[in-house]
């Protein structure tokens, strides 16, 4: 049989049928082997079970003018079978196509259709709107996906066709491998990848981040390269402007002077790739209880639970799962605590560094400070009191050792005024010191 296909350009549905077998090639008569006969029987069975309706989408399939199916080279007569693929004029839908700008898989309805459903890679199924198109929220740009359209007719029969999007360019192994991204330390975003196995030696990669909903893009601001100078990591230092509930697309494109390089991508919510930072915990305590409080920071999460681990002295640690942002520990004495955040459906966050609290020592320290302050106050009062006593008009020394007045010679010309005291009889008072009376016996 010969094999040929229909028009390559319209990409419509195809019908597979098996014509009458062609004559055997003229070969010298040889004894048949049972293995060859068994292989031929299997091939004929496959031909009989070949579905009636099918669709060829890829360029590789359309470029093949024929396909030879024959037994292995066993020396037995070889039968060359060829399949003929022709357009099915009775297909209920035709011209299946992807309108990427509107993210719509659409077609032309030509039959009596009851229901149409679409699926992507056999895993995601949606019902067509008005049996005219299927809407997809996200279309992959770097990895080709198979989109299948299943049609249920009014008479209950089922027709199925499929197409592929997007068109692939470049060597498959040239794209960046193992693209991984994570949000960490609240405001930081880091993406890393590996060089493709079949990437050209001069390949260079470029990453950008895109909001799937608004299509806003942010190119990578800072790259990290390997020893050959090929970029393998990207870092965003502040992603506070990305705090959006929409999905984001990470795309790594490749460029080379020698060959085309495929891109690689990842679509995800930033909240799903966040590595939660540990909460900031503080505590105040005494001999009776300790009050621990903490604060959690995240750009994309708001609903947290917390796992608090406490260890008293040499006892084994135990944990408390809480939704509050505080916890009261009774009779704490000396203990160590650490905490981490929990979000439903994600891995737990990082543990905080263990913190040790000495509640007894804190109480003793307070008592020690109070004693020091008290002693200081008493000493100050005593010092002030002594100073006041010493500063009074007549000192204690003056009372105990009063000065002896010097005699004045009113007749002498050279009076030693510096050694004499002037007596003022009018000066008297409570503070006056007692004096002794002096009697003059005669003049020399």
What single string gives the DSSP state of each residue in 275-288? -PPPPEEEEEE-SS
Would you call 311 helix, strand, or coil by DSSP? strand
CA torsion 49→55→60→62, rounded to 10°? 100
What is the Cα–Cα distance from 406 to 409, expressed in whole angstroms? 10
Rounded to 5°, the CA angle 133-139-142 comes to 140
Residue 240 Rama label (left phi>0; alpha psi -120 to 50; beta): alpha
What is the Cα–Cα distance from 95 to 366, expressed in whole angstroms? 85
What is the Cα–Cα distance from 401 to 394, expressed in whole angstroms? 11
Query: Residue 134: beta bridge partners?
Result: 105
What is the Cα–Cα distance from 376 to 404, expressed in whole angstroms? 43
What is the Cα–Cα distance from 292 to 333, expressed in whole angstroms? 14
What is the residue-level pLDDT of the chain in tens, covering all 444 positions?
433 444 433 444 444 444 444 443 444 444 444 455 555 555 554 444 444 343 333 333 333 333 333 344 444 444 433 333 345 778 999 999 999 989 999 999 998 999 999 999 988 789 999 999 999 989 999 989 999 999 999 999 999 999 999 988 888 899 999 999 999 999 999 999 999 999 999 999 999 999 998 889 999 999 999 999 999 999 999 898 887 778 999 999 999 998 999 999 999 999 999 999 999 999 988 878 899 999 999 999 989 999 999 998 888 999 999 999 999 998 888 899 999 999 998 899 999 999 999 886 545 555 566 667 777 877 787 777 766 666 655 555 555 556 666 555 555 555 455 555 555 555 555 555 565 666 666 655
Residue 385 Rama label (left phi>0; alpha psi -120 to 50; beta): alpha
Instruction: Annotate 95-134 with b (16+ C-beta within 10 A) or e (fewer).
Output: ebebeeeeebbbbeeeeebeebbbbbeeeeeeebeebebb
Of 213, 183, 165, 193, nearest in space to 253 by CA: 193
Q: What local confidence, expressed as pLDDT, does residue 244 receive?
A: 73
Answer whether 0.75 is exceeded by the pTM: no
Q: What local confidence, expressed as pLDDT, does residue 441 receive?
A: 65
H-run or E-run covering 237:
none
Of 67, 47, 52, 72, nearest in space to 5 by CA: 67
Q: For residue 220, give every residue at least 6 positions away whose Cβ sits within 8 Å of its Cβ, in sequence order, or none.
A: 191, 206, 207, 208, 209, 234, 235, 236
Given a contact cutoff of 8 angstroms between Cβ atoms, the answer to whether 208 and 251 are in contact is yes
């Amino acid at each position: 049989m010969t094999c040929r296909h229909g028009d390559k350009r319209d990409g419509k549905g195809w019908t597979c049928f098996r014509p009458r077998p062609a004559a055997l090639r003229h070969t010298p008569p040889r004894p048949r082997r049972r293995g060859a006969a068994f292989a031929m029987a299997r091939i004929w069975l496959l031909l009989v079970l070949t579905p009636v309706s099918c669709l060829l989408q890829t360029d590789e399939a359309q470029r093949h003018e024929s396909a030879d199916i024959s037994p292995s080279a066993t020396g037995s007569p070889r039968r060359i079978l060829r399949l003929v693929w022709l357009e099915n004029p009775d297909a209920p839908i035709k011209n299946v196509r992807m309108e990427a700008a509107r993210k719509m898989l659409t077609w032309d309805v030509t039959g009596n259709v009851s229901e149409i459903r679409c699926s992507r890679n056999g895993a995601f199924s949606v019902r067509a709107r008005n049996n005219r198109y299927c809407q997809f929220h996200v279309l992959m740009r770097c990895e080709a996906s198979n989109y299948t359209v299943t049609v249920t007719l009014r008479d209950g029969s089922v027709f199925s066709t499929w197409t592929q999007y997007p068109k692939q360019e470049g060597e498959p192994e040239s794209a960046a491998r193992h693209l991984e991204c994570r949000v960490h330390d609240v405001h930081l975003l880091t993406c890393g990848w590996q060089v493709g196995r079949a990437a050209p030696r001069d390949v260079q990669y470029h990453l950008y981040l895109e909001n799937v909903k608004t299509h806003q893009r942010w190119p990578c601001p800072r790259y990290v390269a390997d020893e050959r100078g090929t970029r393998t990591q990207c870092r965003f230092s502040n992603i506070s402007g990305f705090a959006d509930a929409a999905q984001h697309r990470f795309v790594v494109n490749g460029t080379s002077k020698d060959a085309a390089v495929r891109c690689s991508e990842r679509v995800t919510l930033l909240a799903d790739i966040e590595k939660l930072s540990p909460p900031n915990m503080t505590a105040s305590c005494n001999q009776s209880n300790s009050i621990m409080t903490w604060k959690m920071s995240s750009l994309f999460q708001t609903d947290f639970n917390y796992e608090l681990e406490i260890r008293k002295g040499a006892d084994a640690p135990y944990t408390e799962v809480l939704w509050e942002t505080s916890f009261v520990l009774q009779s704490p004495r000396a203990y160590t605590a650490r905490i981490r955040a929990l979000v439903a459906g994600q891995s737990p966050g990082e543990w905080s560094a263990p913190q040790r609290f000495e509640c007894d020592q804190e109480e003793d320290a307070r008592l020690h400070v109070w004693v020091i302050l008290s002693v200081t106050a008493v000493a100050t009062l005593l010092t002030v009191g002594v100073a006041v006593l010493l500063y009074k008009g007549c000192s204690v020394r003056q009372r105990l050792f009063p000065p002896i007045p010097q005699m004045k010679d009113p007749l002498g010309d050279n009076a030693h005024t510096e050694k004499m005291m002037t007596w003022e009889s009018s000066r008297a008072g409570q503070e006056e010191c007692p004096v002794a009376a002096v009697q003059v016996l005669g003049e020399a």
